[in-house]
Amino acid sequence: MATPSNNKQFRLPLALATAVLAAQSERTAAQAYYGEPLEVPELTLPQVRYLKMDVSSDQASYQSKQGNVPAVNTQRMYLAPEVGIGWDYFLYHPNLLSFSVLAEPGYNLDQYQNNGNSSSTSALLLNGTLNGQLLREKDYATTLNYSRTHDDIHYDFFNSATVDAQGWSVSTGYRSGPVPFSVTFQQEHADDQTVTQDTVTDQTGVTLHAHNDRSDLDATDLTWQFSQMSYNTAYQLSSFTTDNTYDRVSVTDTEHFKKSSLTSLLLYNDNSSPKQSSSQLNLTLNYHLALTPSVSSFSNYGFSDYSGTGLDSVQNFGTVGLSHQLYESLGSTVNLHGSTLNTSALTGSQDSTTVGAGYGENYTKRLGEGMRLSLGNEANYDMTDQQVSGSEVSIANESYTVPVTMQIRLNTGRDVGDHPVVTKNNIPLVEGTDFVVSTATDPWTISFFNVPPNFVKSGDVVAVSYSVQSNPSGTYSVFSDTANLSLRFWHERAEVFARFSLVQNHSASPDFVLEDEQEYAVGADYSQHGFSVQGSFMNHHSTLYDYQNLMATENYSHPVSLHSTAGISLSQQWNTYPAGNGSSTNQAQTATFFNVMLHYDWRPLPRMSWRSEAGVQQQTGLINGGLFLAGRTYLNWALGQLELHLGYEHENQDYTGETRTRDYVFLRMRRNF
């Protein structure tokens, strides 16, 4: 935790109040200008709406498990009495400029201690919000917003921070006509203080949005976003600064014809940072034609042009096919598809052409009341001819969803070259802070951390660009097949399912290294009356690596009394990676994940509530593994015009190489008027 910023002194502006008072003498002229009689409310002055007091104590410690690194212990006391002053009024005329102000002028005392070194700051501050509307009845109405806050933020159950933030925005445009549009400009500044680091973020952005609606549900939508973000992160005794520029254009269009429809998407991204710059242009076209009531055709085309630091890639892909709905429960598809790929990098290039065919069948049948059977199968056969130069091939912007274990394994093995470039929402992530790479496995694995400023968490989608050893020039074929079965019963409260997939490669050249895969999964789930349970087992076998995954979740919530509810959530996951065989050099690895969450809610009075929750999470066998403990309890009580909020939070994070703890207590009182 870094020393709090001293730049917190603000003065309550009186210009707005002066302008409003002066405007009263012009009220008659303003009404004449607008040309309509209006019963203008009498002048109102700012009113005190509440008094409040915020008191908090934050104690954090960091202990490295390396003997030569000293421990870090910090304490912070925060005291802030404030007055809430509200004012809802206008200038000259309500339709000219109306505004709503909630200002919180106050005094801030901040005492900070770091390993015995103390500091204290005090300042006048002005938190609050300002919302204004200029020419609100016009099609070109403009809104203005400003806010400044001091809040506690929970990024997940085991990670929290104290955030001081301020920002402002202006939004205008034109709301009528054939193409209504809006333009928004905004600036934000935030200071995130966690157990071990302090991150200051500044972001400036512009957004343009336009939309056109036509008959027959035809529509075109345009969005342009430009953003500049810089952040400075102080971690223990070191710090680093990163600047990113992000430019994005998105155009979607939907056209409906007599028996067909066409959907188009054009997407352009341009990103720039000190270590990585890239741009990407994507185009997709989807055309659907109804031939008969039960038969339809589809034609899809896609284009992608990616250019990054030391890498260029152009890809075209297309599909044509037929879809047949024989019965309400039986549908089938057949398609022909093809693609071209041209990549060039400093270490080599690849030109490939792929053609293939696919077939799919899906069957759904009700087997009586409350039972439903689903069967499906999809098979594809592809032939690829490639011409390769150099010893490496680059893979651009491969998409992954971060799992609960916060670790992914790259799709392609024999990884070489520099470490991967990883982005989230087109923003480059920082290696060593947001993620780490393990090159001891094949394919490589990437472990993520939920820390500022990017806060990668389970469920996020990231894109990875990396290089692998190239196969020689030549031709190879790939057959893939996926089959699934699902049976729901007990009025669809329970389900059992199974899935099998197969990938087989063939090449006449023995120099090709291709990955054959075989995977099956089985599982079941059940839910009723606040109770749910789910479990699955997956076995994956390939020529590069094998792994097994066993996963289970259990949830139960039930009223304990008329005014209270208790619940428990559990999650378990076991991943086993056997030792490699053949060309694989992987070592045996076992990774486990356990999570237990408890909560209790009690509301003895209509305006009184107490909530307590606790959690334990343990990960072993992973780079980002550790034991995490967290507990929180909050009391909220309103008595007449008095509000009381009392809370305590505890966090303990025991990593492989370090231990972090945080204890946070707050008392917030507010007297409303």
- In-domain check, residue 304: no
Q: Please enumerate in sequence order all residues whose Cβ is within 8 A of that of 151, keeping only pairs 6 or more positions apart, or say none.
A: 162, 163, 165
- In-domain check, residue 156: no
- In-domain check, residue 442: yes
The C-alpha atoms of residue 112 and residue 67 are separated, in whole angstroms, by 26
* pLDDT at residue 526 greater than cutoff 90: yes
> Which 8-state DSSP code applies to residue 413?
-
- In-domain check, residue 419: yes
Quote the Cα angle for 21-25-28, to 5°. 130
Whole-number percent of the chain with pLDDT over 70: 91
Long-range contacts of residues 528-535, Cβ cutoff 8 Å, at least 24 apart: 528/493, 530/556, 530/557, 530/558, 530/567, 531/555, 531/556, 532/556
> Which 8-state DSSP code applies to residue 25?
G
> Which 8-state DSSP code applies to residue 177?
S
pLDDT digits (tens, 9 = 90+) for 411-422: 887 777 777 888
Q: What is the 3-state secondary structure (H, E, C) of 179-194?
A: CCEEEEEEEEEEEEEC
The C-alpha atoms of residue 333 and residue 436 are separated, in whole angstroms, by 42
What pTM was computed for the model?
0.79
- In-domain check, residue 275: no
Distances (CA, A) of 251 to 177, 225, 266, 269: 19, 12, 5, 12
End-to-end C-alpha distance for the chain, whole angstroms = 37
> SS3 of 538, please?
strand
pLDDT band at 195 (very low <50, low <70, confident <90, very high): low
Quote the Cα angle for 15-18-20, to 5°. 110
Amino acid found at 333? T
Positions of E strands within 65-141: 72-91, 97-114, 117-134
Q: How many domains does the chain fold into?
A: 1
Residue 186 tokens, joined: 């905004």
Q: Please enumerate in sequence order all residues whose Cβ is within 8 A of that of 567, keeping only pairs 6 or more positions apart, or say none.
A: 530, 555, 556, 557, 558, 598, 599, 600
pLDDT digits (tens, 9 = 90+) for 199-238: 888 999 999 999 999 998 999 999 999 999 887 877 655 6
* pLDDT at residue 10 greater than cutoff 60: no
Q: How far is CA 360 from the centre of its chain?
A: 33
The domain of 438 spans: 395-469
| Interval 141-160 mean pLDDT | 84
pLDDT digits (tens, 9 = 90+) for 553-585: 999 999 999 999 999 999 999 988 887 654 555
- Higher pLDDT: 334 or 366? It is 334
pLDDT digits (tens, 9 = 90+) for 385-406: 999 988 888 888 888 998 888 8
- In-domain check, residue 146: no
- Neighbour-count burial for 390-427, b at 16+ CB within 10 Å, e otherwise: eebbbbbbeebebbbbbbbbbebbbbebeebbbbbebb
| Interval 530-543 mean pLDDT | 93
| Residue 570 and residue 553 in contact, taking contact as beta carbons nearer than 8 Å | yes
Q: Please enumerate in sequence order all residues whose Cβ is within 8 A of that of 485, keeping only pairs 6 or more positions apart, or say none.
A: 374, 375, 376, 497, 498, 499
- Higher pLDDT: 300 or 398? It is 300
Distances (CA, A) of 593 to 155, 351, 534, 648, 657: 19, 42, 16, 27, 18
What pLDDT score does 119 carry? Answer: 86
- In-domain check, residue 590: no
Q: Is the dihedral of CA 87, 92, 93, 98 positive or negative?
A: negative
- In-domain check, residue 423: yes
